[in-house]
Chains A and B, each alone.
Chain A
Amino acid sequence: MTIAVTGLNAIDSPGPGVAVIRGLLEAESFSCRIIGLSYESLEPGIYMRDLVSKTYSIPYPSSGMDALMERLQYIHQQEKPDLIIPNFDSELYSFIKLAPRLKKMGIHTFLPTLAQFEERHKVNLPAFGEKYGLSVPRSKAVYTANETLSLDREYGWPLVVKGKYYDASLAYNHEQVKAHFNRISAKWGLPIIIQEFVHGTEYNVTGLGDGEGGVVAAVPMRKQYITDKGKAWGGISIDDKKALALNAQFVRETKWRGPYELELMKDKSGNYFLLEINPRIPAWIYLAVGVGQNIPEALARLAMGWPTDPFTHYEVGKMFVRYSWDMIVDLAAFEQISTKGEL
């Protein structure tokens, strides 16, 4: 089977693509060939020829769905992929909308519904928490920097300043709030979310929902080392019953379809807050594969409509330690992907 995967930017703030591909290639229930889909010429996955058979550049999400569809049609003619796994938040809207058309071409996906995707937006988190009975930190979507002026009295310092899709920075005073507001809104647009900062320990859960309320896979992880970009550089699988219960509640209540990552914060009294729902596979997914839950494989099976048993077990106390790796690349390869858009 041929699977196309995005998110090949295995850099210091990595996309999940390369880890997803490793999971797919290690799948026991099928063998597959990987097509990479890239946005920029220096995404490392493009040059990992032992993992990725061929890469095609695709247009940025901001170019719109028609541009994406046209490019996917071209790729379809060349490669006839059976499945696409998009791995960026910002491209999901287009892929969810295009899913029925892709299906007609014989390309499967397994994505959240548009309603699920919209509902879990950071902007909607307070309403989301209330609807499904999940504790979330207080937050407000703002459209001008001035609206943030009174929020510190409600939430206290520091405030978390978040972009609609990506990016989050802590601010300890109004000047910093303004600076973050301007920087993040310039890149990701409006609104900006101002969130209460919850002191505590961060946990993450990655999982897979079958779309009917059932959990197909779930692995909780605690970050052990965090880079200056806020990304985990090391983490450990843990046995946290409360986090798993919260995870099960999330999947059951929302009937989540597809992969996701929950960002949780446990405060000093042991209460969990749901900080964010990422509607896609996280970059540390290979830990899940390594502890016995090959989520990319299960995702591919669900997408193809094959019977898929839920995972019931994973190894606790396994770590992932991320590392950088310098590849030697011929200029000709860079030239190919930069001028032809294919490699």
Chain B
Amino acid sequence: MTTKKRYERPVIKRLESNMPAKFGGRSNFEAVTHIENIAVGELISRFGSPLFVISEKRIRKLYKQARQAFETRYPRVQFAWSYKTNYLSAVCNVYHQEGSWAEVVSGFEYDKAISNGVEGSKIIFNGPDKTEEDLKKAITNQSLIHIDHLEELYMLQEIARSTRQRPKVAIRVNMDTGVYPMWDRFGFNYENGQAWDALNKIMYSGNMDLMGLHTHIGTFMLSPSAYAVAASKLAQLARMVQQKYDHEIKYIDMGGGFASRNTLKGAYLPGQDTNPHFDDFAEAISSALINSDYRPKTPPLLILETGRALIDDAAWLLGTVIANKRLSDGKRTTIVDFGVNVLFTSFWYDHRISPAQPFTAYTEDTVMYGPLCMNIDVIRENVSMPLLNKGDYVVVHSVGAYNMTQWMQFITLRPKVIMIDTEGNPHVIRQNEVLANLSSMEQIPPHLATFEL
């Protein structure tokens, strides 16, 4: 008997004048059959579907690229891992092994960094919501506290007075860098003098150590030149402090916001072609600092809190096709087993999605839906995909940032996360949720414990 051919769904489509010939799309797709040399099918059969897969090798590689980009251009560079981007401990610890400090924005994240073993003095504490208790802890641990508003500044002064400890502080500065939208809700404004005013208050208080200046100009930034503007403005503030108080700023923290390889919704060209690289950001920031008028004895340490650009491209989401369907207007739809509850970033990006098995050159325009019983559950509004069968696997690229922190337990339970180590061995770094996890947090009042139907 002859061997059977690989099956592909039969399709017929009308050739329309504005339709690209099918082979034009041929090379848009390459089957991604393996992640770090392990077959997608094998990963799914061992760990289930959907499944987040993180490559330790890729993390370390991206980190080295970023470090190299900055260290070849500026003498003193320190990265601080942005916990909110991905705070799975295994992930954080890869960065800490590489030498990253921790950058946290809540008491919870702060405690997580401590429990991961990060020294207090190597934790940067950002964010508008730090409680008195959080601040006391951070002061005792000599962490770097980045002040967001005046209330926080006053609270720190009060604690400093009452505990006779000297908080190590910086202020977060917001400013016009020519990009839209301007992030002016965090920190103190540069242009209207708030920032300079806050710095004076700190210097006058006499009971705090002004260590640095911090800014974070936006998210998924596509223009490195905005960072150059920001760096010059921070250097200008540093110079003003030096002139007025003869006090040297120890570090300049440029925050993060570097774009990954993802494609923002509304962009015409794919992000992997157009988005700037670490080198572009490093060049803009380093030259702005080096060319500034701020001339301290020791050049300030340049701190970077980039998260997304370091982790996004080191993780994939594997999933399975549940069904193919047609809408009432004949539009093809494909339902997959991961929704916006797991892949939160599909609200922002047109994620690149590859089939995990071979296919022919034929494609169909498809809406890709998640499995939720909710109208908002759309993974891709319109994507030209090869003809997928029920049970086929797909691979979503660049999902490492924000998904494993902003995902929600909604309708379905959250899946496993695995990390493939540098030797190619997979490790579960977060178990999938089970009903008991959720039930364990609930309590039922006695009168609601039983019922009859």
A61 within 8 A of B: yes
Give residues of chain B (151-180) contacting chain A, Cβ–Cβ below 8 Å.
180
User: A59 and B273: CB pair below 8 A?
Assistant: no
B270 within 8 A of A: yes
A155 within 8 A of B: no
Q: How far is the CB of B30 from chain A (nearest CB, A)?
A: 9
Q: A42-B17, A338-B15 are in contact. Are A63 and B25 (CB under 8 A)?
A: yes
B409 within 8 A of A: no
Q: How far is the CB of B232 from chain A (nearest CB, A)?
A: 17
User: B273 and A97: CB pair below 8 A?
Assistant: yes
B111-149 CB mask vs A (1 if < 8 Å, else 0) is 000000000000000000000000000000000000000
Q: Which of A61, A67, A164, A338 has the most B CB atoms < 10 Å from its CB?
A: A67
Give residues of chain A (55-76) contacting chain B, Cβ–Cβ below 8 Å.
57-67, 70-71
Chain A contributes a number of interface residues (CB within 8 A of B) equal to 35
Which of the 9-residue segments B243-251, B261-269, B313-321, B415-423 touches chain A? Answer: B261-269
B72 within 8 A of A: no
Q: How far is the CB of A167 from chain B (nearest CB, A)?
A: 12
A94 within 8 A of B: yes
| Complex CA–CA separation, A341 to B25 (angstroms) | 11
| Complex CA–CA separation, A41 to B180 (angstroms) | 39
| Complex CA–CA separation, A94 to B273 (angstroms) | 8
| Complex CA–CA separation, A339 to B274 (angstroms) | 31
Q: A57-B24, A59-B28, A67-B27 are in contact. Are A40 and B269 (CB under 8 A)?
A: no
| Complex CA–CA separation, A94 to B272 (angstroms) | 11
User: B268 and A39: CB pair below 8 A?
Assistant: no
Interface residue from B23, B26, B27, B274 paired with A93 (Cβ < 8 Å): B274
- What residues of chain B lie closer than 8 Å to A113, measured between beta carbons? none
Q: How far is the CB of A8 from chain B (nearest CB, A)?
A: 13
Q: A41-B15, A41-B17, A42-B17 are in contact. Are A62 and B23 (CB under 8 A)?
A: no
A225 within 8 A of B: no
A188 within 8 A of B: yes
| Contacts between chains A and B (CB distance < 8 A), count | 78
A230 within 8 A of B: no
- What residues of chain A lie closer than 8 Å to B180, measured between beta carbons? 141, 143, 191
B19 within 8 A of A: yes
- What residues of chain B lie closer than 8 Å to A233, measured between beta carbons? none
B445 within 8 A of A: no
B446 within 8 A of A: no
User: B27 and A59: CB pair below 8 A?
Assistant: yes
| Complex CA–CA separation, A242 to B27 (angstroms) | 48
- What residues of chain B lie closer than 8 Å to A66, measured between beta carbons? 27
- What residues of chain B lie closer than 8 Å to A337, measured between beta carbons? 21
| Complex CA–CA separation, A188 to B27 (angstroms) | 22
- What residues of chain A lie closer than 8 Å to B24, measured between beta carbons? 39, 57-60, 63, 71, 341
A189 within 8 A of B: yes
Q: How far is the CB of B115 from chain A (nearest CB, A)?
A: 41
Task: Look across to chain B and name the residue whose beta carbon is closest to the beta carbon of A63.
Answer: B28
A135 within 8 A of B: no
Q: How far is the CB of B353 from chain A (nearest CB, A)?
A: 14
- What residues of chain A lie closer than 8 Å to B270, measured between beta carbons? 62-65
Q: Which of B24, B28, B180 has the most A CB atoms < 10 Å from its CB?
A: B24
- What residues of chain A lie closer than 8 Å to B27, measured between beta carbons? 59, 63, 66-67, 70-71
| Complex CA–CA separation, A191 to B26 (angstroms) | 30
- What residues of chain B lie closer than 8 Å to A42, measured between beta carbons? 17
Q: How far is the CB of A215 from chain B (nearest CB, A)?
A: 29
| Complex CA–CA separation, A65 to B263 (angstroms) | 14
Q: Which of B26, B181, B269, B274 has the most A CB atoms < 10 Å from its CB?
A: B269
B20 within 8 A of A: yes
Give residues of chain A (325-343) contacting chain B, Cβ–Cβ below 8 Å.
337-341
User: A62 and B21: CB pair below 8 A?
Assistant: no
Q: How far is the CB of A323 from chain B (nearest CB, A)?
A: 21
User: B18 and A40: CB pair below 8 A?
Assistant: yes
User: B23 and A340: CB pair below 8 A?
Assistant: yes
User: B17 and A190: CB pair below 8 A?
Assistant: no
Interface residue from A41, A71, A94, A191 paired with B269 (Cβ < 8 Å): A94
Task: Look across to chain A and name the residue whose beta carbon is closest to the beta carbon of B271.
Answer: A64
User: Which 4 interchain pairs have the tightest Cβ spacing?
Assistant: A341-B23, A64-B270, A67-B27, A70-B27
Instruction: Give the B-binding residues of A (Cβ under 8 A).
Output: 39-42, 57-67, 70-71, 90, 93-94, 97, 141, 143, 164-165, 185, 188-191, 337-341
Instruction: Give the A-binding residues of B (Cβ under 8 A).
Output: 15, 17-28, 180-181, 266-270, 272-274
What are 29 A-B residue pairs whose CB atoms fall within 8 Å in the complex? A39-B20, A39-B24, A40-B17, A41-B15, A41-B19, A41-B21, A42-B17, A57-B20, A57-B21, A58-B24, A59-B24, A59-B26, A60-B20, A61-B269, A63-B24, A63-B27, A64-B28, A64-B269, A64-B270, A65-B270, A65-B273, A66-B27, A67-B27, A71-B27, A93-B269, A165-B268, A337-B21, A339-B21, A339-B22
